Amino acid sequence: MEIDYNLTGKTILITGGTGSFGRKFVSIVLKDHAPKKLIVFSRDELKQFEMYEDFNPKKFPSIRYFLGDIRDRDRLYRALSDVDVVVHAAALKQVPAAEYNPFEFVKTNVIGTQNLIEAAIDCGVERVIGLSTDKAANPINLYGATKLCADKLFISGNAYTGTKRTRFSVVRYGNVVGSRGSVIPFFQKKMTEGIIPITDPEMTRFFITLEQGVRFVLKAIKRISGGELYVPKIPSMRIADLAKAIAPDCEHEIIGIRPGEKVHELMIGKDDARRTLEFDDHYVIEPVQQDWWDAENPPTMNSGKRCPDGFEYTSDKNDRWLTIPDLRKIAAQVENEH
């Protein structure tokens, strides 16, 4: 069930808007919707300049570029004035960098998220979606821990809205095909050396394309009641299969798991099973507290099938898998796009 929420005429802001997700989000929203304004909020002036070349306001009158950092609370208040919808994609996300620079990750991923929540409530934003990661489920590295904290802040943010209309929810999904720093461009670069480094031959990962991620977020914006955590049903792949697909003639060098990595990824843990509902194309983890749900803002997930105790959604126990031919097609598409 989806509430009839139309983005036509709405003012939308995306934090981290010059990243891989942000660029794809802007492209799809400009193509499929008619927002009053679409504001790209980010801290990198060069990336904004480059994005300006592709999405020029003369061709796309609704586009706006707003330089700022989510660490700067005052700047967020200025940016969120008269905004209806926020997609929060800004984050520091490199796992090794987080282990070496933990304070910086806390400032951006945790304090920055708190700043956004408070500014969104005070500015009267209607709907806010936070982007999470599979690494936030039972985290074993600092990056995942900061994203889990951000998820909790988002969900609990609904308790701070009082009489305000703002509602917060979270979308969590796995590795994004072809995004900056992802494994496909890395393998494509390494294949010229004749050896592909493999962390663990048994390693599995969830895989989602940028377009699938954006469209799932757009659906979540329509579904928001407040406090839900949305998880799409997406396929898994084996890292060893991906290496074979990209570089079938290369040798594999087993280098071992890096600090903070898991052999298999988790998106819904057993402890969340009793609060998880299953739908045709996604799962919903209900919030622990639901005080903000009322007659004027009814839950949208009541038609879901409740998952049994002990249920978990992991990349190694998935019922959907990408084959080597599938992965070869995906890798070719990524190479063409880059």
- Catalytic positions are 135
- Residue 55's identity, in one-letter code, is F
CA distances from 54 to 61, 175, 177 (A): 13, 25, 21
CA 318 to chain centre: 20
Neighbours of 327 (CB within 10 A): 21
User: Of the candidates 213, 196, 98, 211, which has an alpha carbon nearest to the alpha carbon of residue 144?
Assistant: 98
Tell me the two tokens of residue 52.
């300006």
